[in-house]
Structure formats: C-alpha cells, structure tokens
Structure 1
C-alpha cells in the first residue's frame, strides 16, 4: 500500500507526485503508455539523426510557472534553449511581424507596418510590467486566488481599472484594431490567441492573445535542450530520488470507491493497488467521470454537466526531418522558433469559421516549429527538425478543400491532408518540399492513441473559452481539484487553470490532498484530546 496513487505521468501527474513525495508521502505513478511524459515526449522515429517532439515543444508557461521553478529541475539536468527570435508571422508580400525578446526590436518591426504601432506595443508591455507577476501568481494558484487576486485587483485599478478590464475581455480582432493601425501587431495578438481554440471573434481572446504575447516578449518561448522528453526525464528523476516510482504500461481501468471514498485503483490486468490517503487523476474530466468512476458514486447534476463538456479543436500534425533550413521568402522568419502561417486576421477568422461549421480547412492556419533553430542539438548542422500542426473539426461535415476528406483519417486521407499542410508552407517558403528528408503524420486518432488525454487530438483537455474556465472548469462549481468522491482529486489540464505545460493543475491537486489529510489528522487529534479530557474528568480521584 502507498499513500497516494497518481494516474497518468504527464507533467501535471509528475508535478503532483513530486510535491507529495516532498512531504514524505509514498507515491506510485501509473502510466498507460510504455514511457512517461504524456504530451511531453520526444523521439528519433522520424529519422535517427533527428530529435522530434511528438506533441508539445515550446514552453512559455513553464518558464513563467512558480510551480516548476520551485522544483529546481536544473539540479536534475534540465536546460533551456531559445531561438534568436521568439515568433514570426510572415506574409506573402515579404512583410513579417516578429516577436523578439528585446521589446524595442519588436516595436521597431511593428513600426514598419504602421508608424506609431511600436508605441502601441510598448504600451501593452508597460501594462504587463505592472500586472504580469501577479497575473502569473493568480493564474497558477488554487482557485480562488485570494491573496494574489487581491493584489492583482489593486494593481488593475491603478493600471486603468474598468477600461483595462474591458480591453482584456475584447475579442482579439477588436483589441488589435483598437491598439494598432497596421497588420503586424494585430497578427501577433491574434496568432497567439489561436494557440488555444479562441477565434479572433471570441470574447476574451484578446486577453489570452495579450498574455501569450507578453510571456513571449518577457520570457521567450523556451525549449528543453535535447527534446521535450528532457523535461519529463528531470521530473521522473526528481521523483525517484525522493522514493516515488513510475510504472509504465499499466493502464488504470477503475478507481475503487468504498463508502464514498477513493481507496485505490485497479489496472487493466486486474491488479489492485490500494491508496492510504489519496488518488490523483491526471486524466481528462470526461475520462474520470465517464469511465474510471462508476456512475453511482457521482451526483446526477455532475453527470448532466459532463454531457455539456466541450473539447477544444481536434489537431492534425506533421513532423519533418529537413536536409536544410526552411527557405522562407521573408528572411526574418528564418531565425524564429515558432512561425505562424496565415494571410492576415481575416484568414484566421475564415479558418476558425470553417472549423466551427464542420469543414476541413482548405488553407489551414499553421503553427510551425523550427526546433533546430531553437536548440542546435535537435539535428545535424545545416539541417532542421521541424513540425507544423493545424486544427480540424471533431466531426467533419465536408472538406473545404474539395478533396473529399471525411475525418475518418484512413484510406489516404492523412497523406492528402499532410500534402495540404506542406502546400501552405510552400506558399511562404518556395522549395520547402524539396528539403523534406522524412516525415511523420499524426492524425487526431493517432494523437489520442499515443496519449489518451488528447481526445481526438484536443491538446488543451477542454475548450479555453470563457464558459469553461475558472469556476466553470471542467463544469460549473468551485474551480477546485476536489471531486464528489473523498480522497480523489482531478489533477489534469481539464482542471483550473487549464492547458499548457506549467504543472499548476497537478500542484493544486497535490496541495488539496495534503491539506485534506492535515485537516483530518487535526480533527482526529482534537477528538482524541477531547476523549482523554473526558476520561480524566470521569476518573475517580485517588489520594
């Protein structure tokens, strides 16, 4: 028997396990896949000389996360690397919006789109200077963030109060129009908003686009040296050094509940693993409440709410081993780690609209990673390890590209969609396809097969839209990791604060578990003292 069982070895599960081990708990992490990491893994399967990240790659939220900072993963060998520029958004006319870690360089580039836009960017940076630290503290704290929230509210009033709050709630299209005359600043904000499933017209997408842009401006989009898997390796090594264990190839099929309390788990092979204190689930909310816990242990309202749970967009990804750098028409794109490909904000709106209507986009918006540019260890000199992903509907009604893609992702569909992705890159980098040495295609079903939390390729464990954030995540309630089953905690990105590699959902779940056992221990101690006092009062005196 162990003190806690953690289901899933993604970054949230490993962070939770580390924090429990830090207070002396015995912890066992059970992972369904044959290796740990969830969506933070890398391999050499595309080509043996190239390291490719299977899922996530760039980690601005990890750089901002106080949770990860306190773990001291540099002591476990983790190192970070940066591309010369953070992000680029090239256009067909040769223009290119560039996010540089030097804010004056970013501003100078935006002035080339429209004089004065650089000052607009610096104004957004100054707001971040006032609010950024408290925003990150509040974002990664358990909900509600009482202390950091109070400080943030005071600073918000000083920085503009209701007017600033209005700006952050705007759709990113409108925020860009209010702040910039040219395309450059608008593209940086809108492209970053689409790192989640937030269209340019979605309420709150302006605030999210600003947040991601400011994280990139202040911290960059760093990558682990040697591949995304290096972050997982550091987390596992730290856990094992504190007595915790990770067992891979052990899918959990049931959380055992007795008298309303989680007391352990059962694996696919029938093995029962009891947990003395807690079970923490780094799994999606629909998986936790739809299959791992029998419905009789859950309130009907929760089950009804889960039927309304909304996933974020499905994802289609292509990994490449390139025999040379990508031949961008706009030279400024060559030195960026992340590249956004879409011909303006209107094109982003068109893309999001096609997905909303169930259409496979004909000109997909691409997020493209130049990994060797960001970390020279990823491939041989003068080559590039690269990837691009785009989004597609969960339920495909038709193909806007006219090639008959149905969303079944078989019978040649993956290859045709990968060709479409490459043709989009080719528009901005003529000759790109001639540099492809090898490629790997990851469809929505294959992404889910590699990590069950990526339901049909949904990478954020649920939409980032306002109706499923804060007290609405994953369902209307408290926004906290506790569940209706005592001793069971939701520790995945389906919980507040949501997607991204930062460890906050896992940390929040671990802290809730620790706090609960301390409260129980205190209650037991108090009861024991009361009984002892009564015993002394009722005992006859002796002389």
Structure 2
C-alpha cells in the first residue's frame, strides 16, 4: 500500500470529518480507531432490549444541522436521514405550566406569553436578531480563532454600538439574560436549561449566550436525530470517506505519535507497527491525552506542560436508558410532544444544583435532561412504546453527597449500589412531573462516569464536552492559553478533537479546522519529504 499522506487518530465525528476533507483534497488517508466500531460519542446499540435503539452518548444534533461543515459533506447522499419531534424542548413545572420551544417561533411565543404578557414578543425579537446575524455567529463559532472573515461580516452587519451590546448579551449569565429580556419564568428556564447542556450554571458568564445560541438553533433547525439511531450519522461519514478512497481500521489503538526532527512522521499502534504519515497526523484525541500519552513530554515546551496541569474537564455525567412500555405520562401536554424535556422546579433549583456540583457534592435534586427518542424518531422502538434516556451531572471529584449521609451516600466509587442510588434520584425527578413513570419501565441501564469513559476513553471522567465550556477555557484559551487553533508544538501534528476551539458538540468544526490547517500548511511549505 502506498504511504498515507495523513493518519487520523480517532474515528469520532471530528476525526471522520477531518479525514473526509483531506480525502476530498486528494490525500491518501488512514483512520485508526481503538474501539471495535467507529463513532466515538456518536454511536447507538440495542444492548438494553433488542427491540429498542438507544444512543450511547449524544442523541440530538442541532449543531450538526446548523453546521456548514456537516452540510457541505452532503451526508444525505450517503444514507443519512433526519427526524424531529413535534416540539423541540419542554420545561414542565409542578403546577402544570410548561414552557415549550416549539417547531415554529410563533408556537414558542404563545407558550411563553402564557407565563407573562410581552414575553412572546420578546422571544420573537431575539429570534429576529438571530435571523439577522445567526449565519455570521456560526461562522465565527466554527472557524479557527480569531474568526477574521466571519467577524468582519458580523461587524459590518452590526454597527459599533449594537455590536457591543450583542457581545455583552453573549457574555451574560443565563439568569441575568433572562431577567433583562423576560418578565416570566418560562423563557428564563428555556435559556438556563439549555446552558446546562454544557457546564454553564445560571450564574456562569457566557451561560446566557450559550443558552440563547442553543435555543435559537432549536428554533431554526429543531433538535434533529438521525433516523435509526446516532450511528446512522457515523455510518454516513464512513461511507463517504471510503467512497473517496479513505481507509478505516477499527480495534487498532494508537500508542505513540512518532516524532523525528521535531516533526510528526508516523503513528505507532499497539501491535508495534509504525504507520507513516507523509504529510500530517491529525488527532481526534483530547489534548491532555494526546500530549501526555501519545506525544511525550520531551517534545513539549515547559509552558504547555504547565498549562496542561490547569486544564479543566467539564462536569461528569450519569446517563440512564430505559425501554418503556408506553409514552412517559407527563402531566403537561407540552412535554408529551417534545423530543427533549428539562426537569427542574425553577431557576433557583438549577442554581442550587450547579452550586452543589461546584462544592464537589452530588446534588440532592438532579437537574435532569430527558430524551424521548421514539417521539423524535418512530423507528427507535415498537409502536406505542418509548425508547428514552435521561442524563444528569455530578462532580468530577466527589467529596460529599447533598442528598444522603453515611452509608447511603454516593462517594464516586460507582459500584452497583451507587448507580442504583443516582438512578433512583433521576427517576424520582421524572415521577415528580410524570406520575406513574416507573410503571412503564421494562428495562433500565445505568451508565456512570467510569462506564462512559470505558465505552469512549475520550470522555475522561464522563466529561462529555471534553473540557469546560466556561469562558476561561474557550476561544484563544482552548485548550490552553494562546491557542485557539489546531496547530501543536510538533510540526505536522494537528489537534482535531473537541478540546480544540470551538469545543464540544457534534458539528465537525475541530476536525475541519485541523484538516484545512494541514492543507494550508502544505501549500505554504510544499510537500514534506517522504
């Protein structure tokens, strides 16, 4: 076989996007994946019940639907089909009210108007702003930092004074943005709940901007899911790559990036074989794992080694899957129609949840995000049933349990007792808004942080975003200060994982940025010697 032009480590969505872009440019590409199947955090199985499809990690893909990177790959030509629930997101309350991010802006506005007069119009104003600047915001988000072209377009669209106000809005905590824009609780909960899809609590800077972004993506694109399961997205990426001559090797773990003369020249696999890379090595691997395990300290500057010790992972995650005999019996009609349901009794409960995690305590009452997958895609389980999951967050390092004392406490061992305890809290939160939920459960699977990391080693400690979304580790601070671009201290080695800007979510931007940087470097330097 001819020497590959590039070796891509990791067949997650970013690695597969990078490989596709390089293959489109005519490069010979080999992708190495340690797991028996590709996909990283975009995988699904029938392991709980053969009649039910469950997504193992990520499930809803508004960022993929909005991403120009994914859109330009035309994955529909390779079998990908999207499906959507009748409503996007619902946030029910115990008194029966329910904030609903609907399939149309007027549907959402009507839901929020029921919480406070004027909030419907306020939502429509925010969406009108999104319609005016959304494409440029996404352009800034999905390109290397600083985003020169998209930034100039955005600046031209917004006059200086308005631009400053938009920038301030994006930096606001979710609580403050909600207070400034809305009188009622409904819209505030939608923004704060969406911010907590990452690790941005109601009082975190940037939380308002992130929550607004997720809400606007939901309003514009919905929260779509691949028909048949998350793995359908991965399968389309693989088919496209192979149609362009790329090669994928699963169950082939990389153990070392071979560096000679300050340049990455090959990748060594666990069987001792070196696979040469004539032009580049791209790593869809979290930055701390790439530098500390695959590259080695001898090839890294002292400042980078020091900065890596300050790298912050995001919250750990616990996920529970269910095979249900019927739909979840929500009190609120709005929750029955939504693919995603947020559960917390008001903004203060979200603040308390976030504060307890900040104090390294397992929260007493979890904020729960529920996915109703059959509602979103009827192929996921038999007619009249529901394939459902929920996740909540816990600290990376647990020092206490706000919900239990003594022998009943969750300590972070994550043995069967502790998994049962956290699952009981999640299910109690669902029962709070859907009495009788427990009677619909046919089967259950609990994935604690060590289980998630075992299934996908990139999710260190169950950190599904590969690093905090907080402002101090975004933009030019991601993954460490002074970066924001996919280049590394090793020539020919590019960081293509979600630890690179712009971070977590299935949008392909880190992989695309790494691939395009490698292509530009070749144009500037010429072809490296074999």
Normalising by structure 2, we get a TM-score of 0.97
Give 1:341 deviation, angstroms: 0.4
- Does the CA-based 8 Å contact 1:190-1:209 persist in structure 2? yes
State how 1:26-105 maps to structure 2 within 5 Å. Answer: 26-105=28-107
C-alpha distance after superposition, 1:463-511 (max 9, x if no partner):
1111111110000113100000000000000001100000000000000
Give 1:391 deviation, angstroms: 0.3
Query: Which sits farther off after the overlay, 136-145 or 299-308?
Result: 136-145
C-alpha distance after superposition, 1:183-205 (max 9, x if no partner):
00100100011111001001111
C-alpha distance after superposition, 1:96-150 (max 9, x if no partner):
0000121111011101001111111111111111110111111111222111111
Map of 1:265 onto structure 2: 267
**Aligned mate of 2:285, from 283, 303, 312:** 283
**Aligned mate of 2:322, from 320, 323, 330:** 320
**Aligned mate of 1:431, from 436, 445, 468:** 436
**Aligned mate of 1:2, from 1, 4, 18:** 4
Asked if 1:442 is matched to 2:444, the reply is no
State how 1:111-510 maps to structure 2 within 5 Å. Answer: 111-157=113-159, 160-402=162-404, 403-510=408-515
Query: Which sits farther off after the overlay, 266-275 or 484-493?
Result: 266-275
- Does the CA-based 8 Å contact 1:169-1:203 persist in structure 2? yes
Normalising by structure 1, we get a TM-score of 0.95
**Aligned mate of 1:24, from 19, 26, 35:** 26
Hey, what's the Cα distance between the residues in 2 that align with 1:508 and 1:244? 19
C-alpha distance after superposition, 1:432-473 (max 9, x if no partner):
011011111111001001111100110111111111111100
Hey, what's the Cα distance between the residues in 1 that align with 2:209 and 2:77? 35
Hey, what's the Cα distance between the residues in 2 that align with 1:460 and 1:468? 12
Hey, what's the Cα distance between the residues in 2 that align with 1:156 and 1:469? 23
Give 1:60 deviation, angstroms: 0.4
- Does the CA-based 8 Å contact 1:130-1:159 persist in structure 2? no
Query: Which sits farther off after the overlay, 294-303 or 414-423?
Result: 414-423
Hey, what's the Cα distance between the residues in 2 that align with 1:415 and 1:234? 36
- Does the CA-based 8 Å contact 2:83-2:225 persist in structure 1? yes
- Does the CA-based 8 Å contact 1:12-1:492 persist in structure 2? yes
Give 1:411 deviation, angstroms: 4.5
SS in 1 for 2:255: strand
- Does the CA-based 8 Å contact 1:281-1:490 persist in structure 2? yes
- Does the CA-based 8 Å contact 2:278-2:528 persist in structure 1? no
Hey, what's the Cα distance between the residues in 2 that align with 1:116 and 1:518? 55
Hey, what's the Cα distance between the residues in 1 that align with 2:246 and 2:370? 36
Compare CA radii of gyration and give the structure with the larger one.
1
SS in 2 for 1:263: strand
Query: Which sits farther off after the overlay, 344-353 or 405-414?
Result: 405-414
Query: Which sits farther off after the overlay, 166-175 or 346-355?
Result: 166-175
Give 1:523 deviation, angstroms: 10
Give 1:162 deviation, angstroms: 2.1
C-alpha distance after superposition, 1:374-425 (max 9, x if no partner):
0000000010000000000011111111131101101411111111111111
- Does the CA-based 8 Å contact 2:279-2:528 persist in structure 1? no
SS in 2 for 1:276: coil
Give 1:158 deviation, angstroms: 6.9
Structure 1: runs of 5 or more not aligned: 525-543
C-alpha distance after superposition, 1:133-183 (max 9, x if no partner):
111111111222111111112223278232232222111101101111110
Structure 2: runs of 5 or more not aligned: none
- Does the CA-based 8 Å contact 2:279-2:527 persist in structure 1? no
SS in 1 for 2:279: strand
Give 1:522 deviation, angstroms: 8.1
Give 1:71 deviation, angstroms: 0.5
Hey, what's the Cα distance between the residues in 2 that align with 1:347 and 1:154? 41
**How many residues matched?**
524
- Does the CA-based 8 Å contact 1:127-1:159 persist in structure 2? no
- Does the CA-based 8 Å contact 2:13-2:506 persist in structure 1? yes
C-alpha distance after superposition, 1:32-90 (max 9, x if no partner):
11100000000100100000000000000001100011101000010000000000000
SS in 2 for 1:161: helix
